[in-house]
Amino acid sequence: MSDWVSQRRSAGPTWAFPLVLGVAGAVRAIDLGRRSLWTDEGSTWTAASLPVPELLRRCLERDASPPLHYLLTKLAIRGDDSEAMLRAVPMLASLGLVWLTYRLARLALPRGESAFAALLVALSPYQVMYAQEARTYMTVALFGVLGTYLFARGIAADRPRAWPAYAVATALGLWTQSLALLAVPAQAAIALVTPAARRRMLPWLLALAAAALAYAPWAWASREMTAHLASSHWYIDEPDASGVFKVLRAVLVSPVPLVTPPPGSSLPGLERFMPRLLAWALVSFPTLMLLLVTLPMLPRPGARGHVARVAWAAWLVPLLLVFVVSFQKPLFLPRYFVFTTPYLAVLAALALAEIRAARVLRDALAVLVVAAAVLGLLRYRTDYSKEPWRDAAAHLSRSAEAGHTVALVTYDADPLAYYVHRDTLAVEVREVGHPAEPFAAAFTPRQLDELEAKARADAAPFDDVWVLVRSANSEVRREVARRAERVAAEGRVEVERRQWDSASGYVRAVRYQRAAAPDSLPTTR
Q: Are residues 345 and 394 in the same domain?
A: no
Domain membership of residue 36 (yes or no) is: yes
Q: Are 334 and 245 within 8 A, CB to CB?
A: no
132-153 pLDDT, tens digit per residue, is 999 999 999 999 999 999 999 9
Q: Return the CA Rg of the chain.
A: 26
Domain membership of residue 1 (yes or no) is: no
> Which amino acid is residue 294, in one-letter code?
T
Asked if the model's pLDDT at residue 520 lies above 50, the reply is no
Q: Are residues 426 and 324 in the same domain?
A: no
Q: For residue 474, give the DSSP letter.
A: S
- Domain hosting residue 507, numbered range: 389-514
CA distance 204 to 200: 7
Q: Are residues 394 and 365 in the same domain?
A: no
Asked if the model's pLDDT at residue 524 lies above 80, the reply is no
How confident is the model at residue 1, as a pLDDT? 40
Q: Pick from 383, 400, 421: which residue ends a domain?
A: 383
Q: Does residue 431 sit in helix, strand or coil? A: strand
Please tell me the total count of domains within the chain. Answer: 2
Q: For residue 25, give the DSSP letter.
A: H
Least confident of 79-83, 161-165, 366-370, 517-521: 517-521
Asked if the model's pLDDT at residue 518 lies above 80, the reply is no
Q: Pick from 383, 417, 448: which residue ends a domain?
A: 383
- Which of the four pLDDT bands, split at 50, 70 and 90, describes residue 168? very high
- Which of the four pLDDT bands, split at 50, 70 and 90, describes residue 157? low
- Which of the four pLDDT bands, split at 50, 70 and 90, describes residue 516? low
229 vs 214, higher pLDDT: 214
218-270 pLDDT, tens digit per residue, is 999 887 777 666 666 666 778 889 889 999 999 999 999 999 988 878 889 99
34 closest CA partner among 281, 371, 381: 381
Q: Are residues 412 and 283 in the same domain?
A: no
Asked if the model's pLDDT at residue 521 lies above 60, the reply is no
Q: Are residues 308 and 439 in the same domain?
A: no
Q: Does residue 523 sit in helix, strand or coil? A: coil
Q: Are residues 377 and 492 in the same domain?
A: no
Q: Pick from 316, 349, 383: which residue ends a domain?
A: 383
How confident is the model at residue 440, as a pLDDT? 73
Asked if the model's pLDDT at residue 275 lies above 50, the reply is yes
Q: How far is CA 386 from the centre of its chain?
A: 12
139 closest CA partner among 245, 68, 196: 68
Q: Are residues 409 and 379 in the same domain?
A: no
Which positions ≥6 away from 312 have C-beta within 8 Å?
294, 298, 343, 347
Q: Are residues 375 and 470 in the same domain?
A: no
Average pLDDT, the chain: 90
439-456 pLDDT, tens digit per residue, is 777 888 999 999 999 999
Asked if the model's pLDDT at residue 3 lies above 60, the reply is no
Q: Are residues 290 and 416 in the same domain?
A: no
Q: Are residues 424 and 313 in the same domain?
A: no
28-64 pLDDT, tens digit per residue, is 999 999 999 999 999 999 999 999 999 999 998 888 7
Q: Are residues 401 and 340 in the same domain?
A: no
- The CATH code of the domain that includes 499 is 3.40.1360
Q: Are residues 260 and 350 in the same domain?
A: yes
